[in-house]
Amino acid sequence: MAAYDSNHVKNIALLGHAGSGKTTLAECMLFEAGVTKRRGSIAQKNTVSDYHELETERASSVFTSLLHTPWRDYKINILDTPGYDDFSGEVISALRVADTGIMVLNAMMGVEVGTDVIWEYTDTFKTPTLFVVNQLDRDGANFDKTLQDAKSHFGANVVAVQYPVQTGPGFNQIIDVLNMIMYQYGPEGGKPQKLPIPDNEKDKAIQLHKELVETIASNDEGLMEKYFEQGELTEDEMKAGLHTSMIKHDIFPLFCASAEKNMGSGRIMGFIDNVCPAANEMPPQKTRAGGSLPCDPKGPACIFIFKTIIEPHIGELSLFKVFSGTIKAGSELVNENTGVTEKLNQLLLLEGHNRIPIQELVAGDIGATIKLRSTHVNNTLHEKGANIELEPIIFPKANVTVAISTVNKGEEEKLSQALHTLQEEDATVQFEVSTELKQTLLHCLGELHLHVIQWKIAHIHKLDVKFDKPRIPYRETIRKMAESNYRHKKQSGGAGQFGEVYMRIEPWYEGIPDPPGLNVRGRDEINLDWGGKLVFLNCIVGGAIDARFLPSILKGVMEKMHNGPLTGCYVRDVRVSVYDGKMHPVDSNDISFKIAGLQAFRQAFTQADPQLLEPVYKVDVYCPDDMVGAVMGDLQTRMAMVEGMEAEGHFQKITAKVPLALMHQYSSSLRGLTQGRARFNMQFNNYAPVAMETQKKLMEAYSKHEVEVE
C-alpha cells in the first residue's frame, strides 16, 4: 500500500445494534474501493471482517476487526465492531482510537437498545458521528420513522443528508439534499447514475435541504451571518460547516443505504474522505499528567495499545494507534507503564485475518505488531526520554459472575493459563481465586459473553469446564453481649499446655463507649479485609495473664473470625474484651492461649444472638416505558426493595436493592423478559440480615457438611 501522511488517514468505527448490517457495509466499502473482487456474505460465511471461527458459527460479529482500504487519495481504517452489549468492551476500545463513528440503523427496527448503549459511548468520547439508515430494501423498512426515532433519541442535530424515494424491494433511488442530486442504482448496486431530482420530489428535497443548511448555520456564527445575508450556503460552505460541527460533536449527518444490494456505500465513503475529520484534526490527546499530545508526525513517537489478539502459532498481536511521531519497523519504544523497552520488529496492517507487513506508520494511523514482551492493552509506548502516558480506556464492569471449574481433575493449572489468556485479550473478562468461597470466580458482561468464553476455552484451550452458581459471601455478627470462659489443659508427659481465658463479646458500632465495669488497659482496632471491624480490648488486672499472651489470644479470635461458628463465613463488627484468666508458670505458652481464646470466642458467639448477614446490591435497570411493569414484577420476586424510578434519556431507570443470592442469571432473565430491550448494572451496597428461616437452613447445611467432612 502507498504511504499516506497524517492528513490523508481516516479512522472509522462501524457501530450499531446486532443485525443492523455493519459487516455487510464493510464488505461494500472494500468492494467499492477495489480491495476485494467480490462482496462476502454473512450467510456464505466468507466476509473479510467476521473471519473468526466463532463468528462464522454464530453468523454475527463477536470481536472488533480491523480493515483498511484506499479511497481516492485517502486511507480509511475500518473498525467493524460487534453489536451486542455483552461485547461493549470491543466497541469502547474501537472508539478510543476512531476519529469518526458510523452508527448503522436497521430501517425496519429504528433505534434499538444497542444503539442507545453505543451512543452513550460516542458521547463519552465525543466521537464525530454520522448515521446510516440501512436495509431500506427490506419489507417493513420505514425511513421517516427511523429518522424521527434518531432525532428523538439523539437530538434535533441528527439531520438528513439523504432520503430514499421509496423503500422496500423497489428501493434503488436516493436523493442527496447536500449536493441536490438523485442517485439511481442498477440491480447490482455499485456506482449509481447521477440524475436531476424528479419534479414530484423537489418540494421535499428543498425542505430537507433547508433544514440541513439551517442546522449547519446554527452551529457556526460565520456561516449563520452568510446564511442571513445570502439566504443560502454553497456546497463547499456546507461541507466545511459539517466538518467543523462533527469535530465538536454538534451535528450528526444521516445517510441511506442497502448494504445487501451495495447501494449507498460509495457516497458514504466519499463523505468520509471529503468531510469527516482526520486524526490530526481532532483535539490533542490528554495525558495522565494533565498535558496534551497533538497528532503530529514530527512529534515524539508515541503509540497506544487498544486491543490484543492471541493467535495460535503466532502469539500475541498488539493493535495500536500512532498518536504522535512516525514509527518504523525495528523502532525501540519504552513502555511508560512497565518501564520495559520494546522493539517493534514487525509492523503490520490488518485485513481481517490477513497480515500485511509494512515499514512505516505515521501519526494518526493504526497498525499492529507481534510478540511484545511486557505490553498490554492500555499501555503507552514512546521514544526514550518522552515520558508520555495517555489516558486509559475505562472498561465496563462485569454484571455476571459464575464459578468455573474443570470437568477433569488435574487440569486446574491449564484452566488458570486459559483464563489469563482470555483476560489479556478481553479486559472485560476478570477472574479471581476466592479463598473465602473456595471457588474460582469468573466475571463477565452477560450470558452471550459467557458463552463466548466457554467456546474459547473448549475450542482453543481444549478444556472441558463447567459453570456453577457462585457461593454467597455471607457475614456473621452478633446482636447482644455475652460472656464465656474456656480452660485449655493438656498433659502429654513433660511440659503440658495450660491457658484459661475469660472473655466478653458484644456488637461493635461506631462511637461505642468503653465496656462498663472493665478497666481498658490496651486496645487493638483492626479494619478487617472483608469489611467491618474487630476491636480487641485488654482488660486484664492483677497480672492474671501476662501481656505476652494477649497476641496469642487475639490470634485465636481472628482464626475463628475467618471461619465463623454459624456457617463458616467471615465474622465482622465485634468487640472482644479479655478481662480475666489463669496461667501456669511452666505449662502456659502461646499455643495454649491461642486455643483458649478461640474456644472462648466460639462459645460466647453462639450465646450472643448471632446473626447472618447477606450482601445486598444496588441494581439499576434501564428499560422502555412499556417494559416497566414486567421488570418491576420480576424484581419483586427477587425480594427487591425498589427505591425509585426516573426517566433517563428514552428509558426508565428503576433503582432497587436486591440480595445477591437472588441475582443469579438475572442477565439472561432480563434479556428474555424484555426481548433484549433492557440492560442493567449492579454494585455492592451493604450487608443486611437474612431472614431467620434462611439463616436456619444455611446453619443446618453447614452443620451437615462439617459432619460429613469429619
Give the confidence band of 93 by pLDDT, cuts at 50, 70, 90. very high
Instruction: Examine the domain organization and report whether 133 and 197 are in the same domain.
Output: yes
Neighbours of 330 (CB within 10 A): 11
Let me know if residue 648 belongs to a domain.
Answer: yes
Query: In the chain, how many domains are there?
Result: 5
Let me know if residue 710 belongs to a domain.
Answer: no
Instruction: Examine the domain organization and report whether 652 and 510 are in the same domain.
Output: no
Instruction: Examine the domain organization and report whether 299 and 337 are in the same domain.
Output: yes
CATH code, 367: 2.40.30.10
pLDDT digits (tens, 9 = 90+) for 460-492: 999 999 999 999 999 999 999 999 999 999 887
Instruction: Examine the domain organization and report whether 425 and 409 are in the same domain.
Output: yes
Alpha-helix runs per DSSP H in 138-293: 143-154, 199-218, 221-230, 235-247, 265-274
pLDDT digits (tens, 9 = 90+) for 584-614: 988 889 999 999 999 999 999 999 999 999 9
Q: To the nearest 10°, report the CA torsion of 115, 119, 121, 127.
A: 130
CA distance 620 to 629: 15
Q: How far is CA 343 from CA 324, 329, 336, 379, 386, in A?
A: 17, 9, 14, 15, 16
CATH code, 453: 3.30.70.870
Sheet holding 400-406, edge to edge: 430-434, 439-444, 400-406, 465-468
Give the confidence band of 390 by pLDDT, cuts at 50, 70, 90. very high
What's the CA angle centered on 137, arms 136 and 139, to 5 degrees? 95
CA distance 173 to 167: 9
Structural domain including 629 reads: 613-693
Let me know if residue 395 belongs to a domain.
Answer: no
Sheet holding 193-195, edge to edge: 162-164, 173-176, 181-184, 193-195
Instruction: Examine the domain organization and report whether 420 and 480 are in the same domain.
Output: no
Let me know if residue 701 belongs to a domain.
Answer: no
- Residue 710 is inside which H or E element, if any? none
Let me know if residue 704 belongs to a domain.
Answer: no
Please identify, among 323, 354, 382, the residue that sits at the C-terminal boundary of a domain. 382
- Has residue 404 got a pLDDT over 90? yes
CA distance 12 to 638: 43
Q: For a pLDDT cut of 90, what percent of the chain falls above it?
A: 85
pTM over 0.85: yes
DSSP 581: E
Instruction: Examine the domain organization and report whether 600 and 512 are in the same domain.
Output: yes
Please identify, among 468, 502, 518, the residue that sits at the C-terminal boundary of a domain. 468
Query: What is residue 112's predicted lDDT score, i.e. its pLDDT?
Result: 86
- Residue that the C-alpha cell 424484555 belongs to: 674
Check residues 496 and 254 and name the one with the higher pLDDT: 254
Instruction: Examine the domain organization and report whether 143 and 259 are in the same domain.
Output: yes
Let me know if residue 228 belongs to a domain.
Answer: yes
Give the least confident one: 222-236, 251-265, 518-532, 569-583: 222-236
Instruction: Examine the domain organization and report whether 235 and 308 are in the same domain.
Output: no
CATH code, 588: 3.30.230.10
Please identify, among 354, 382, 410, the residue that sits at the C-terminal boundary of a domain. 382
Instruction: Examine the domain organization and report whether 444 and 515 are in the same domain.
Output: no
CA distance 652 to 569: 38
3-state secondary structure 585-607: CCCCCHHHHHHHHHHHHHHHHHH
The answer to whether residues 23 and 80 touch, using CB atoms and an 8 Å cutoff, is yes
CA distance 114 to 104: 11
CA distance 671 to 344: 44
Instruction: Examine the domain organization and report whether 195 and 110 are in the same domain.
Output: yes
Let me know if residue 14 belongs to a domain.
Answer: yes
- Residue that the C-alpha cell 460516542 belongs to: 122
CA distance 334 to 374: 10
Query: What is residue 10's predicted lDDT score, i.e. its pLDDT?
Result: 96
CATH code, 120: 3.40.50.300
Instruction: Examine the domain organization and report whether 600 and 674 are in the same domain.
Output: no
Neighbours of 530 (CB within 10 A): 13
CA 472 to chain CA mean position, Å: 23
CA distance 403 to 393: 27
- Has residue 312 got a pLDDT over 80? no
Let me know if residue 705 belongs to a domain.
Answer: no
Query: What is residue 707's predicted lDDT score, i.e. its pLDDT?
Result: 53
Instruction: Examine the domain organization and report whether 41 and 152 are in the same domain.
Output: yes
CATH code, 653: 3.30.70.240
